[in-house]
Amino acid sequence: WPGMLGSLDCMHWRWKNCPKAWHRMYCGKSRDATIVLEAVASQDTWIWHAFFGLPGTLNDINILNRSPLFKRLISRDAPACNYKIMDNEYSMGYYLTDGIYPE
């Protein structure tokens, strides 16, 4: 996929030994405390970005707002990625996502 920087997703991992004082902050949809991992993997399944430890009460959009990955893209500090598709030239890469993220 020309210009694709990687596949992005957020996963909620159960936190078995969460301290009682933090339990409510880290409980999302389930009653179990969870920690969120945002990860980007390339086509060869190499994980080259991981943002870990946010409370499970956050959804993917809230994690996106806190992610250092997207702060670089917004500030135009991301690595250059030049490619051409059907005579249209592009200078920024993109991430493959599951449809919950804004364009």
pLDDT tens digits for 4-24? Answer: 778 888 888 888 899 999 888
pTM here is 0.69
Domain ranges of the chain: 4-96
Encode pLDDT of 20-70 as tens digits: 998 888 887 778 888 888 888 887 888 888 888 788 778 777 888 888 887
Identify the three-state secondary structure at position 103.
coil
Q: Per residue in 81-99, pLDDT tens? A: 888 888 988 887 777 777 6
Residue 95, H or E segment: strand 94-96
pLDDT at 17: 92
Neighbours of 18 (CB within 10 A): 19
pLDDT of residue 6: 80
In the chain, which ranges are E strands? 4-14, 34-41, 47-55, 83-85, 88-90, 94-96
User: d(Cα 93, Cα 83) in Å, to the nearest integer?
Assistant: 9
